[in-house]
Chains A and B, each alone.
Chain A
Amino acid sequence: METVNYIIRISPQLLVGVIGTLQVYFGAIFPALVMGVFFAIVKTAGPKPLRWLLNVYTWAWRGVPLLLQLMIMKYGVLPLLGGGGGDFPGAIWVFALNMAAYLTEIMRAAIGAVDRGQYEACRVLGIPYWRMMFRVIIPQSVRIALPPACSEAINLLKDAAVISVISMQDIVRVTNQITTRDKTVIPYLCAFVIYLILTSLLVKVFGLLEKRFTAYDA
């Protein structure tokens, strides 16, 4: 009973952490989705110099720890830009660009996995290239990309914990503070459960999306 009361007592603080994590997460995931799809199309069909540029981008972002990217943003890029906007937008952009790099590669592979006959059918019918991409190829590749995109989305949620290192409020940082103050591991266990709930919700959402995108295959 005492434990339950304790958890109820710290729950407002925990909520602050959850909100911090979700703000960064959702602030990042939507731009990342848009960028990922757009970059994948450019990488598949865009002009050579742009494709090369995107190759460098995905190579660099996927090859460097997220924490380092955050440090560079906080102590390098933001001061250079006059420090405007504080940590929060900066962190969101680091996450967005990081996830977009992975999504770009996932989508690019998915576009490549669409059956060649689909392209030929469009050509034979005279459907213009961009029309074909948006009406025929992309809808089919989204479906192929969903399972790997789901595990990437889960990774990003957990990776968001690194913002605690640059002293932003998130689940890990808040529970850490409470634990140090109250000398108990209960907040950690709360964080454990909170993460499990959040990731389970994500899996559920992607499951529904997958169902929607595979409805025609039943």
Chain B
Amino acid sequence: MGEKTQVGAGARTGDGARADGGAQAGGGARDDTAEVIIRLTNLHKSFGELSVLQGVDLTVERGQVVSIIGPSGSGKSTVLRCVNGLEKIDRGVVEIEGVVVAAVGTPGAKPAPKEQIRAVLAKTGMVFQSFNLFPHMTALQNVIEAPMTVKKIPKARARELGMEKLRRVGLDDKADAFPSRLSGGQKQRVAIARALAMEPDFMLFDEPTSALDPELVGEVLDVIKSLAREHMSMMIVSHEMGFTREVSDRVIFVDNQKIVADNPPERFFNSPEHPRVAAFLDKMLN
């Protein structure tokens, strides 16, 4: 753990020469003020016969908010799920904070030792479209379960931490409510609090508002926006164009199993270069 923080601190001050950075031809050291927190290289993934990703390259720097949009079935969610190992990749390299968490069919790249991968994945928060709250636990129990079992934080301390995170999403008054008693928006906010309780270095949001009634979308987006203001690194798959435009540092368009565009939001929305992006935006915005 201590070693990792050192790597992070070194990279931020610009004097950290990372061992893995050198191995990557032309990959690292382009900008010595920004630390790459996620790096996907030549990602391939298929489900049986169906190819979902074909050669995806993507880096996310610390503090950045990167949104992924695209037609349904284009592989947006799969990109996220490959980052934290929910899907096994078929080919390519996945690096989180300089640790190779997955490497397949790529000469010179080898997955890091298991404990190191586990440590780095523990700093990866994820929020699902369907919340996936534990239905038999209260909101607070949902939030403190992982801090208690994974980080071995004593119950009293965990409860304090849990209440703080629930307050963070505006739900400290629902601490003792079971998920079945919460609205969709409240469930998703508890899920965000649950992820935050592990003090993640970055967050993955997989269509966090797609399962919500329209009037409940705003409260969840507000929480995500507040995270962005605090410079939480995030990757967000979303269909909320206005939100994406407002919150993102970069917008990525995935289509046909590849990244088609990767631009700052103004450029992405105002002058889309790629015809497929233009067509998609036209459909979404009109």
Binding site for B on A (CB under 8 A): 115, 117-118, 120-121, 123-128, 131, 135-136, 139-140, 143, 216-218
Contacts and interface: CB of A to CB of B under 8 A. Distances in A.
Given A123-B86, A128-B149, A216 B135 contact: yes
5 contacts: A120-B132, A124-B125, A128-B149, A216-B135, A217-B180
**Which of B128, B134, B180 counts the most chain A CB atoms within 10 A?**
B134
B132 A118 contact: yes
B134 A127 contact: no
B178 A216 contact: yes
Interface in B52-74: none
A102 B136 CA distance: 26
Given A124-B124, A125-B150, A126-B146, A216 B86 contact: no
Interface in B16-64: none
Contacts, number: 59
Interface size class of B (residues with CB under 8 A): 20 to 34
Contact of B135 (A120, A123, A131, A140): A140
B118 A117 contact: no
B186 to A, nearest CB: 15
A126 B132 contact: no
Per CB-CB distance, the 4 closest pairs between chain A and chain B, nearest first, are A117-B132, A125-B146, A121-B132, A216-B178
A214 B124 CA distance: 32
**Which of B128, B130, B131, B136 counts the most chain A CB atoms within 10 A?**
B136
Contacts of A124: 84, 86, 124-126, 195
Nearest to A116: B132
A195 to B, nearest CB: 35
Contacts of A128: 149-150
Contact of B136 (A121, A131, A139): A139
A124 B132 CA distance: 11
A106 B112 CA distance: 40
B145 interface: yes
B122 interface: yes
Interface of B: 84-86, 118, 121-122, 124-126, 128, 130-137, 145-146, 149-150, 178-180, 194-195, 198
A139 B137 CA distance: 10
Contacts of B198: 125-126
B94 to A, nearest CB: 15
B130 A126 contact: no
B180 A218 contact: yes
**Which of A124, A126, A128, A217 counts the most chain B CB atoms within 10 A?**
A124
Given A124-B84, A124-B86, A126-B122, A117 B149 contact: no
Contact of A117 (B130, B136, B145, B146): B130
Contacts of B126: 124
A148 B90 CA distance: 41
Contacts of A143: 136
Contacts of A125: 145-146, 150, 194-195, 198
A140 B136 contact: yes
A120 B86 contact: yes
B136 A216 contact: yes
Contacts of A139: 136
Contacts of B133: 121
